[in-house]
Amino acid sequence: MSTPHTTSVAHIAPREKAEILSQALPYIRKFHGKTIVIKYGGNAMTDPELQQDFAEDVVLLKLVGLNPVVVHGGGPQIEDALNKLGKKGHFIQGMRVTDAETMSVVEWVLAGEVQQDIVGLINAAGGKAVGLTGRDGGMIRAKQLKMLDKDDPAKEHDIGQVGDIVSIDPSVVKALQDDQFIPVVSPIGFGEKNESYNINADVVAAKLATVLQAEKLLMLTNIRGVLDKQGELLTELTPRRIDELVEDGTISGGMIPKIAGAIDAAKSGVNAVHIIDGRVPHAMLLEVLTDQAYGTMISSR
């Protein structure tokens, strides 16, 4: 068992501590009973101290009356496992071709290892987390992602069991969160023939936030937020500005599915969508319970 690292606030006078705590009240009141979907990824997921902060934040949010739902990623962990097994990757346009053998590795890494580590951390911090994949409760129906050739849109590439969401039935998540549990979801869906699909976790988090009518979607990542060409943080982004940034190549790689999911969620009625720096200790708590703004907020218009 690890103890909370309290040393960093030891120098703060009791009166100031009380002041800081009481400033959370309006936020607690505002968000009480509301759902907040958290995409957990990047460094926050690999650094032990940040993992601990994350687990404590999730538990604190639950205890003050919010309903946190965690969706986790795990690209680097999957890479590691495949490398250890000596499985050579085959990539098309930056996407790993997921054959049946690769998919079984994806399932055991995500659902067996990464998800269960997160469940354990949250439970050790005093919460009651329950791990789910999209298969549980028939939650995430998926189909093969169509990948068009970037030069010839008439041509399609077969990248195996990489999935696109068909629908999400959130009833299992609702049942758990209405009770005292904290759902932790692995981004795996199932198809018509009960086959498995690996889905981008940002896309799952965004869609889940939409179907749950979440108040907030927080995407923790390994960078300050969305950056412009000069590397400056963009604190607020509209769909039109995002289109321009994707068009001119400023937004690329893993930020593309993240930002696409973020816009979809914002347009579908999720009130606050933020891409935040998961490397900042307690980034989530700061975002939800203080007036500090970190990272990039995505607006619906």
| Residue numbers at the binding site for ligand ADP (CB under 6 A) | 41-42, 73, 202, 221-223, 226-227, 250-255, 258
96 is in an annotated binding site: yes
Task: Name which of 74 and 176 has its Cβ closer to ligand ADP.
Answer: 74
What DSSP string runs through 229-276? TTS-B-SEE-HHHHHHHHHTTSS-TTHHHHHHHHHHHHHTT-SEEEEE
183 binds, among Mg ion, ligand ADP, none (CB under 5 to 8 A by kind): none
251 binds, among ligand ADP, Mg ion, none (CB under 5 to 8 A by kind): ligand ADP
Task: Name which of 7 and 230 has its Cβ closer to ligand ADP.
Answer: 230
Distance CA(59)–CA(54), nearest Å, equals 9
Q: Does 76 bind Mg ion (CB under 5 A)?
A: no
Among 172, 254, 268, 299, binds Mg ion (CB under 5 A): 254
Residue 144 phi/psi, 5-degree rounding, is: -65, 135
Closest CA to 212 of 137, 268, 287: 268
Q: CA dist 54 to 172, 278, 296, Å?
A: 23, 9, 19
- C-beta of 111: minimal distance to Mg ion in Å? 18
42 binds, among ligand ADP, Mg ion, none (CB under 5 to 8 A by kind): ligand ADP
Q: Does 137 bind Mg ion (CB under 5 A)?
A: no
Q: Is 8 exposed, middle or buried (0-12, 13-18, 19+ CB in 10 A)?
A: exposed
Task: Name which of 177 and 186 has its Cβ closer to ligand ADP.
Answer: 186
Cβ distance 70 to 116 under 8 Å? no
How many residues are given for the chain? Answer: 301
Which residue's Cβ has the minimum distance to ligand ADP? Answer: 254
242 binds, among Mg ion, ligand ADP, none (CB under 5 to 8 A by kind): none
75 is in an annotated binding site: yes
Distance CA(228)–CA(225), nearest Å, equals 10
Q: Is 168 helix (H, G, I), strand (E, B) or coil?
A: strand
261 binds, among Mg ion, ligand ADP, none (CB under 5 to 8 A by kind): none
Q: Residue positions in the annotated binding site for substrate?
A: 74-75, 96, 198
Q: Which residues are at the interface with Mg ion (CB under 5 A)?
A: 254
